[in-house]
């Protein structure tokens, strides 16, 4: 049988995945549009608009540019991933430090490539990312070792619960575990569990590190 859902799926397969491109540099967005022209480009936008555009257009893959020492891409990736369990995120950067690679893992980025990759490599990576695969440039994989592929996806920022975000906000305001529990009406044991989960998901050794990473990723107001 062929219903509307089947017809839509066939149309999508025929044109490849739906792609949303995001970067604050119009020239890079135009370049990515050109490289990915054979796919269905549902839009391109600045980084700050990416989460809302992801909700509006429901892309299969978000292709994001990364500028040096700019965490806004990871913030947008984490928020966009939170809007859809099936969204793949591919980041393209001129280079990457180990810190940025760790931030990418935590934010839920699926694939990480360099702008030195060929057009064919970028297209192939976008297609495979949309299918749920994880593609890493060899140079980046060497820097990161095996950590990227072994990192559980559920440890990313995209999987912080609303309650964990509330706890993180209160920690940033300087509240103790007991004060957090009083404000949120939670037992000390429950607060301690939330804090431990935050340390794991934010890959931080202590509360201070978790708060610092939360600010860097834009999770704290």
* In contact, 22 and 49? CB cutoff 8 Å: yes
In angstroms, the Cα distances linking 31 to 35, 37, 122, 167, 215 are 6, 10, 11, 41, 31
Query: What pairs with residue 91 in β-bridges?
Result: 64, 112
Q: Please, are residues 48 and 72 in contact by the beta-carbon 8 Å criterion?
A: yes
Distance CA 7, CA 55 (A): 22
> What is the reported pLDDT for 4?
39
The 3 state secondary structure assigned to 151-202 is CCHHHCHHHCCHHHHHHHHHHHCCCCHHHHHHHHCCCHHHHHHHHHHHHHHC
* Residue 148: per-residue pLDDT: 55
pLDDT (tens digit per residue) in 187-199: 988 998 899 888 8
- The answer to whether 107 and 79 have CB atoms below 8 angstroms apart is no
The string over 80-100, giving b where at least 16 C-beta atoms fall within 10 Å of a residue's C-beta and e elsewhere, is: bbbeeeebbbbbbbeebeeeb
**pLDDT band at residue 180, thresholds of 50, 70 and 90?**
very high
CA atoms within 13 A on the CB side of 196: 6
Rounded Cα distance, 149 and 111, in Å: 10
**Two tokens, residue 103:** 């931030």
Mean pLDDT for 45-62 is 95
pLDDT at residue 173, rounded to an integer: 87
The span from the CA of 79 to the CA of 74, in Å, is 9
* Of the candidate ranges 45-59, 64-78, 83-97, 135-149, the one whose mean pLDDT is the lowest: 135-149
Q: Rounded to whole angstroms, how far apart are CA atoms 140 and 113?
A: 8
Render pLDDT for 57-90 as a digit per residue (tens, 0 to 9): 999 999 999 987 777 888 888 888 877 778 999 9
Which domains are delineated in the chain? 4-149 (3.40.50.2300), 160-216 (1.10.10.10)
Nearest 10 degrees: Cα torsion 110, 113, 115, 116: -170
Q: Are 131 and 84 spatial neighbours (Cβ–Cβ below 8 Å)?
A: no
The pLDDT of residue 152: 41
Query: Does 32 have pLDDT greater than 90?
Result: yes
Contact 112, 96 (CB under 8 A): yes
What is the tens place of the pLDDT at every residue in 155-177? 456 578 889 989 998 988 888 88
The confidence band for 9, taking pLDDT boundaries of 50, 70 and 90, is very low
Q: How far is 29 from 46, CA to CA, in rounded Å? A: 9
């Amino acid at each position: 049988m062929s219903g509307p859902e089947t017809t839509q799926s066939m149309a999508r397969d025929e044109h490849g995945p739906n792609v949303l491109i995001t970067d604050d540099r119009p020239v890079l967005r135009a370049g990515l549009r050109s490289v990915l022209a054979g796919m269905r480009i549902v839009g391109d936008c600045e980084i700050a608009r990416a989460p809302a555009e992801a909700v509006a257009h429901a892309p299969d893959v978000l292709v994001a540019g990364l500028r040096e020492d700019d965490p806004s891409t990871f913030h947008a990736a984490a928020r966009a991933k939170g809007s859809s369990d099936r969204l793949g995120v591919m980041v393209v950067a001129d280079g990457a430090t180990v810190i940025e690679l760790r931030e990418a893992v935590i934010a839920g980025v699926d694939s990480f490539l360099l702008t030195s990759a060929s057009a064919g490599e970028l297209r192939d990576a976008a297609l495979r990312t949309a299918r749920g695969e994880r593609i890493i440039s060899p140079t980046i994989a060497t820097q990161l070792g095996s950590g990227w592929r072994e990192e559980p996806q559920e440890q990313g920022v995209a999987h912080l619960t609303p309650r964990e975000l509330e706890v993180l906000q209160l920690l940033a305001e300087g509240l103790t575990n007991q004060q957090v529990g009083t404000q949120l009406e939670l037992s000390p044991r429950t607060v301690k569990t939330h804090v431990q989960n935050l340390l794991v998901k934010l890959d931080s050794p202590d509360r201070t590190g978790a708060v610092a990473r939360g600010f860097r990723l834009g999770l704290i107001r």
